Structure 1
């Protein structure tokens, strides 16, 4: 219970510090609502953009780094897809073998 109160007090202090830093504490409730709505919209759009575009950008940067280091082009997406397909194939084969062994054991016991 004490940790919960200390975390709650810490969070209240951080909110108070945020409001003091940006002078939000002097705004009317309507102005605060508009300010926080715009802030939420901008943060939300930034997060959506990061989820949509950051993986492609990182793969592009990795491809460029690979080219500068090794001197040949590489499609990072295709490499990862190929490795993932081989790992999934090996896993599926192992699971299929285990299931068939278990089925044979059950049939022998019956």
Structure 2
């Protein structure tokens, strides 16, 4: 039986990978009873398996780096108790927005300059 023989270690990498894939296909066919399907049912089954594994790989490639950065930011926050300065996420953008908002609030004195600020804003429009 081909699957019970010990695999020679001097085979090329591509050939070893092909043998590993055929072993996995054999294991899936025996575990889920795919060997009893008709050819059309086998095609549908393997199409669904390929589609789901492809979508899983694409989702991993697209979203795993963002998720890892989020976890790093949370760990930094929990360890150091503040925002990270490494620039991993959007914390620098949030800090810049806070600074801009505080500057805009401080520049307008609500008691003395409210009328002049309103007139200047009206002139600009």
Answer whether TM exceeds 0.5 for this pair.
Answer: yes
Q: How many residues align?
A: 77
- Indicate the residue corresponding to 1:30 in structure 2: 40
| Structure 1 vs Structure 2 CA RMSD | 2.7
Unaligned runs of 5+ in 1: 79-110
4+ residue stretches of structure 1 with deviation over 6 A? none
CA contact (8 A) 2:73 2:88 kept: yes
Alignment match of 1:17 (pick from 10, 20, 27) = 27
Q: 1:56 to 1:9 in 2, by over 3 A?
A: closer
Unaligned runs of 5+ in 2: 1-7, 91-125
Residue 76 in structure 1 maps to residue 68 in structure 2: no
Structure showing greater relative contact order (alpha-carbon pairs closer than 8 Å, 6 or more residues apart):
1
Cα deviation, residue 3, structure 1? 3.8
Distance 1:33 1:68 in 2: 50
TM-score (norm 1): 0.58
Distance 1:3 1:27 in 2: 33
CA contact (8 A) 2:69 2:88 kept: yes
Give the helix-richer structure, 1 or 2.
1
For each residue in 1:32-87, what CA deviation from the matched residue of structure 2 results, as whole angstroms up to 9, or x when unmatched?
00001011111111111111111111100000000000111124158xxxxxxxxx
